Amino acid sequence: MEIKILGSGCAKCQKLEKMTIKALHELNLKADVQKVDDIMQIMNYGVSSTPALVVNGSVRIKGRIPGIDEIKKEITR
């Protein structure tokens, strides 16, 4: 599983990264978690507001910080 956190490195982006890692741990799943802060790469996903969560190439959440349960749902979907 490949997970990308899209964002400039702001506090919201860092929070989404930490929550995603926590969700993976609670689900006992392993994934390659990457931070993407390059604006051109972010735009390639069609994301105009960050943070965003991308799971296996699919944008699942963008422009907000979801709850841990929503992150788990999107990871396992």
Catalytic residue among 10, 11, 27, 39: 10
> Which H or E run includes 26?
helix 11-27
In the annotation, is 13 catalytic? yes
Asked about 45 being catalytic, the answer comes back as: no
| Of 34, 24, 17, 7, nearest in space to 75 by CA | 24
Phi then psi for residue 9, to 5 deg, are 100, 10
Per the residue annotation, which of 3, 5, 13, 75 is the catalytic one? 13
Residue positions annotated with a catalytic role: 10, 13
